[in-house]
Amino acid sequence: MSKTTIKDVAGLAGVSPSSVSRSLRGMGGVSAGTTERIRAAADQLGYTVSPAAYRLATGRTGTIAVVMPYLTRWFFAELLGGAEAVIRQAGLDLLLYHIGDLEMRKRYFSSGILRKRVDGVLIATLALTEPEVSALRSLDVPVCMVGTLVEGFSSVCIDDVASARTAVQHLINLGHERIALIAGDPREPMHFTVPPQRHAGYLAALGAAGLPTGPELEAQGAFTVEGGEEATVQLLGRAELPTAIFAECDEMAFGALRVLDRVGLRVPDDVSVVGFDDHPMASYFGLTTVAQDVAEQGRVIADHLVRRAQANGTKPARLGASTRLVIRATTAAPRNKAHNAHNAHKSRTLRATGTAGAALSAARLRRPALANGHDPLERPPGPRPDGHERLATIKKKKGETQQ
Amino acid sequence: MSKTTIKDVAGLAGVSPSSVSRSLRGMGGVSAGTTERIRAAADQLGYTVSPAAYRLATGRTGTIAVVMPYLTRWFFAELLGGAEAVIRQAGLDLLLYHIGDLEMRKRYFSSGILRKRVDGVLIATLALTEPEVSALRSLDVPVCMVGTLVEGFSSVCIDDVASARTAVQHLINLGHERIALIAGDPREPMHFTVPPQRHAGYLAALGAAGLPTGPELEAQGAFTVEGGEEATVQLLGRAELPTAIFAECDEMAFGALRVLDRVGLRVPDDVSVVGFDDHPMASYFGLTTVAQDVAEQGRVIADHLVRRAQANGTKPARLGASTRLVIRATTAAPRNKAHNAHNAHKSRTLRATGTAGAALSAARLRRPALANGHDPLERPPGPRPDGHERLATIKKKKGETQQ
DNA sequence: TCGGGCAACGCAAGCGGTTGCGCTCAACGG
DNA sequence: CCGTTGAGCGCAACCGCTTGCGTTGCCCGA
């Protein structure tokens, strides 16, 4: 019966409801014998305290809100998984909120829907605007962030700048000098903080090494495989090809790998690629990348949040999370620097398959021809009408026609 | 102020709390003028009803529980995304539960933690045991399932049998006769219903066409990339190679593609591969697969659940979801049936890279050598100590040494 | 003019717990 | 032997909102 109340238990045990309450939550003031009778009565009746009544009486909701801009992307799913385990372990409820677009986001924070509803809020990688921050402050519950620093809120962050710098430094150490960046699109509506930071790390490494930087070496796209493809296509349309590419996230790196593969550029022979995140597919592709344990971050921050939510008065803290460079198979020393220096800019029609060398045929082997026509090399990226022309011919390093 | 109660609003508006309550929820019995004053007072004070008090008073929780065996896997993340949108749209809270392993699962259902906590439950692809079912029944709230049929519960299902059959029929239509299956591991602790159904579809198609079936043509692994790799490795150790492989899910197909690639078998030239699900990466690999719209299923079932939770008395229903075969680039007619028939079983050492033909070198280009040593070809699958020996040499079709 | 009917609104009793406070009574020290 | 103490337990007042029912006052028909 789902209707058993504390009174039923009290009646069965022959005590008052207050004793049942005290006993069941171990507050003392109840003799061992009584406690035993109460416990017996309680689980004979299958009694469960009513969360609503409990919350009303105590004022604590026993609930944590987790708000995420994406549910399906690897990073967020992983984070959610880590947080969920800890939150539930602590006996709290996890209220999930997905903030899909800017309008939802606006409504969400201004509606005050969280008010009186949660004991704590966990927000993933959203760079909050001032009104959003103050809306959260007015909730008067601890707020924890992932990947973003806000005064008064706790957070867990990896060092994106340093980590990106490490990744690029790896390329530099290998001897690369023209290192391109595949970056997140700054027009991204959700204002993530990650892309600019990884961008900064990229620039820092190159700057410190005295290597060239500039728009010629940078291309942008969404933080997805498709975004990575588009950005790489842009790169391939530039006057001079890089010998290495740093992608701000693994998904973009996958996109890069695909495009490079299709045009017959070999990885890492012709171009090295390094990603960021260590997405589960990264090992599949043998992608060199910067690994971060996202689930662990979720656990750490959720644990902190739970603590703050329960023991009120704890101060907000800034937690760190480590990263490490994982070197796999997509990075290597550039083939031949001297040769590379005065490479003949021999242009060649990309889609003239008849002239394809073994490398191109290898690409073809991997991915023969897409039946759904979804091919970035054939379909110029929407916003850039000149993409197609620029791609008709590309500069490619000469030589190494086959082993 | 997060402490504003209905009395504050009533006081400001100069009415009684009951009028505020009636007015705010549009129950009539309040004059237009009063309603206006109340509304003004309410949002001047930033008033929000206390969910706890509301729930206690009304008995309805305004909450839906969503329970998932995985959070990070594509299918479940997608489903969650779809359901979340609908649930929140309906103004309900979404309580997320992750049932990681069997023990959690047991504790979860026996603890009655859902009791008095939710107005409805949405469960993804768990084949419930009898005690679990009755535990859910005793909750006395509508229960909806995804991918599983239970008497008295609603559900949304694709036709796994027919869809799998379609996928295999596609291979048959192309002329394939030796069609292997990469199947989910039956020892999977969570008892999913999908693998056996897709298995049945596979058998049905083959049976109807009079084509061979049997353990020689089947291999098992986890429903993951790694599982697909392991299963494919098993397949490659068999006496006779299939010309086509049906993987019960796309992740497994990805694993198959990788292994085939590494050993130099070309797709679809040497082996056709078809998956199931249309995972976002499927188009990346050009994988022929059976597409299903998982987010849509989440939306549909959540909508149904919300309806049932609100208008009590609605009957449970069985909803369907469609699938469609998406033909991409991993399936083609078998190269040469006649030739195939009396192929010389020329064994060759897999890792003797010196003898590698162009195809193998192409594989090498794609995935040169894993730095982390996580290579199914080098590491025999745990449970099968004889895997390594069997893999030392494999039977491989002769001919087609190069493009 | 007067009674009936019906909006509009307030009263108060819950909903199912928690918790401060007061009572009872056995144990114990002086 | 008596006063004090404190453990064990019940009483009742909330927590904030909903809702059935009673009251008020106005409009209308007879």
Average pLDDT of span A112-137:
92
| B364 pLDDT more than 60 | no
Percent of chain A with pLDDT over 70: 82
CA A120 – CA A142 distance, rounded (Å): 5
Helix (H, G, I), strand (E, B) or coil at A155: strand
Mutation choice for B interface testing from A3, A4, A101, A116 by most B CBs within 10 A: A116
B312 in A contact zone (CB under 8 Å): no
Nearest nucleotide (C1') to the CA of residue A58? C18
* A2 confidence band (pLDDT: 50, 70, 90): low
Tell the burial category of A110 from Cβ atoms under 10 Å away from its Cβ (0-12, 13-18, 19+): exposed
Beta pairing, strands B63-68 & B120-124: parallel
Residues in CB range of B68: below 8 A, 6 or more apart: B76, B79, B80, B96, B97, B98, B99, B124
Query: What angle separates helix A32-45 from helix A6-13, to the nearest 10 degrees?
Result: 130
Percent of chain B with pLDDT over 90: 70
pLDDT per residue over A6-60, tens digit each?
A: 999 999 999 999 999 999 999 888 889 999 999 999 999 999 999 999 999 999 9
Distance between B255 CA and the closest CA of chain A, angstroms: 8
Q: Which two tokens stand for residue B131?
A: 């005690």
Average pLDDT of span B203-211:
97
Higher pLDDT residue, B211 or B352?
Answer: B211
The answer to whether A368 contacts B268, with C-beta atoms less than 8 Å apart, is: yes
Q: What is the pLDDT of residue A95?
A: 97
Helix (H, G, I), strand (E, B) or coil at B105: helix
Query: Is the distance from CB of B195 to CB of B183 less than 8 angstroms?
Result: yes
Reference A84, options B69, B64, B61; nearest CA is B69
Taking CA atoms, B391 is separated from B156, B263, B346, B349, B355, in Å, by 42, 11, 14, 9, 17
Q: Which two tokens stand for residue B174?
A: 């192309």
* A371 confidence band (pLDDT: 50, 70, 90): very low
pLDDT per residue over A225-270, tens digit each?
A: 999 999 999 999 998 999 999 999 999 999 999 999 999 999 999 9
* B337 confidence band (pLDDT: 50, 70, 90): low
Q: What is the pLDDT of residue A380?
A: 29
Residues in CB range of A22: below 8 A, 6 or more apart: A28, A29, A30
Q: Which two tokens stand for residue B385?
A: 């100590």
Query: Is the distance from CB of B15 to CB of B37 less than 8 angstroms?
Result: yes
Reference B152, options B139, B164, B162; nearest CA is B139
Higher pLDDT residue, A389 or A289?
Answer: A289
Tell the burial category of A213 from Cβ atoms under 10 Å away from its Cβ (0-12, 13-18, 19+): middle
- Which residues of chain A are within 8 Å of residue B140 when distances are taken between CB atoms? 2
| A162 pLDDT more than 60 | yes
Q: What is the pLDDT of residue A336?
A: 65
- State the DSSP code for B298: H
Q: What is the pLDDT of residue A393?
A: 26
Q: Sign of the C-alpha dihedral, residues B362, B367, B369, B373? A: negative
Residues of B (59-78) whose Cβ lies below 8 Å from A: 61, 66, 71-72, 74, 77-78
pLDDT per residue over B123-158, tens digit each?
A: 998 888 899 999 999 999 999 999 999 999 999 999
> How many beta-carbon contacts under 8 Å exist across A and B?
185
Q: What is the pLDDT of residue B3?
A: 82
Strand order in the sheet with A323-326: A218-221, A179-184, A244-247, A272-277, A288-292, A323-326
Beta pairing, strands B154-158 & B143-146: parallel
Q: What is the pLDDT of residue B320?
A: 95
Query: Which of B78, B281, B283 has the CB atom closest to A372's CB atom?
Result: B283
Residues in CB range of B91: below 8 A, 6 or more apart: B62
> In the predicted model, what is the mean pLDDT of chain B?
83
Taking CA atoms, A329 is separated from A264, A286, B275, B373, in Å, by 17, 5, 27, 11
Closest chain A residue to B354, measured at CA: A403
pLDDT per residue over A381-402, tens digit each?
A: 222 323 232 222 222 332 222 3
A90 in B contact zone (CB under 8 Å): no
Q: What is the pLDDT of residue A355?
A: 25
Helix (H, G, I), strand (E, B) or coil at B40: helix
Longest dimension (CA), chain B: 95
- Measure, in angstroms, how far nucleotide C11 C1' is from residue B305 CA: 38
Q: What is the pLDDT of residue A319?
A: 96
Q: What is the pLDDT of residue A111?
A: 85
Q: Which two tokens stand for residue B365?
A: 């280009």
Looking at mean pLDDT, say which of A96-105, A282-291, B110-119 comes out highest.
Answer: A282-291
Distance between A148 CA and the closest CA of chain B, angstroms: 22
| B379 pLDDT more than 70 | no
Query: Which of B72, B284, B374 has the CB atom closest to A254's CB atom?
Result: B284
Q: Which two tokens stand for residue A32?
A: 């061992």
pLDDT per residue over A67-100, tens digit each?
A: 999 999 999 999 999 999 999 999 999 999 999 8
Which helix (H) or strand (E) segment holds residue B14: the answer is none
The answer to whether A72 contacts B78, with C-beta atoms less than 8 Å apart, is: yes
Q: What is the pLDDT of residue A96?
A: 97
The answer to whether A2 contacts B372, with C-beta atoms less than 8 Å apart, is: no
| A297 pLDDT more than 70 | yes
Query: Which of A280, A286, A367 has the CB atom closest to B370's CB atom?
Result: A286
A359 in B contact zone (CB under 8 Å): yes
Peptide bond into B376 cis (omega under 30): no
Mutation choice for A interface testing from B71, B117, B136, B364 by most A CBs within 10 A: B71
Average pLDDT of span A340-356:
31
| A106 pLDDT more than 80 | yes
Q: Which two tokens stand for residue B126?
A: 């768990």
Q: What is the pLDDT of residue A383?
A: 29
Query: Is the distance from CB of B287 to CB of B254 less than 8 angstroms?
Result: yes
* B266 confidence band (pLDDT: 50, 70, 90): very high
Longest dimension (CA), chain A: 95
CA B96 – CA A302 distance, rounded (Å): 15
The DSSP secondary structure of B146-168, one letter per residue, reads ES---TTSEEEEE-HHHHHHHHH
Reference A127, options A188, A80, A191, A83; nearest CA is A191
| A126 pLDDT more than 70 | yes
Q: What is the pLDDT of residue A193?
A: 85
- Measure, in angstroms, how far nucleotide D20 C1' is from residue B58 CA: 14
- Which residues of chain B are within 8 Å of residue A280 when distances are taken between CB atoms? 225
Helix (H, G, I), strand (E, B) or coil at B104: helix
Question: Which residues in 56-75 of chain A line strand D, with CB less than 7 A from it?
Answer: 56-57, 59
| B363 pLDDT more than 90 | no
Query: Is the distance from CB of A190 to CB of A209 less than 8 angstroms?
Result: no
CA A180 – CA A183 distance, rounded (Å): 9
Higher pLDDT residue, B305 or B355?
Answer: B305
Q: Which two tokens stand for residue A372?
A: 């759904």
Reference B269, options A368, A48, A354; nearest CA is A368
The answer to whether A359 contacts B366, with C-beta atoms less than 8 Å apart, is: no
Q: What is the pLDDT of residue B2?
A: 56
The answer to whether B367 contacts A327, with C-beta atoms less than 8 Å apart, is: no
Query: Is the distance from CB of A232 to CB of A182 less than 8 angstroms?
Result: yes
| B257 pLDDT more than 80 | yes
Average pLDDT of span B328-336:
91
Q: Which domains does chain B have, with CATH numbers?
A: 6-49 (no CATH), 63-159+294-320 (3.40.50.2300), 162-291+326-396 (3.40.50.2300)
| B400 pLDDT more than 80 | no
Please give the angle made by the CA atoms of A87, A91 and A92, to the nearest 5 degrees.
Answer: 55
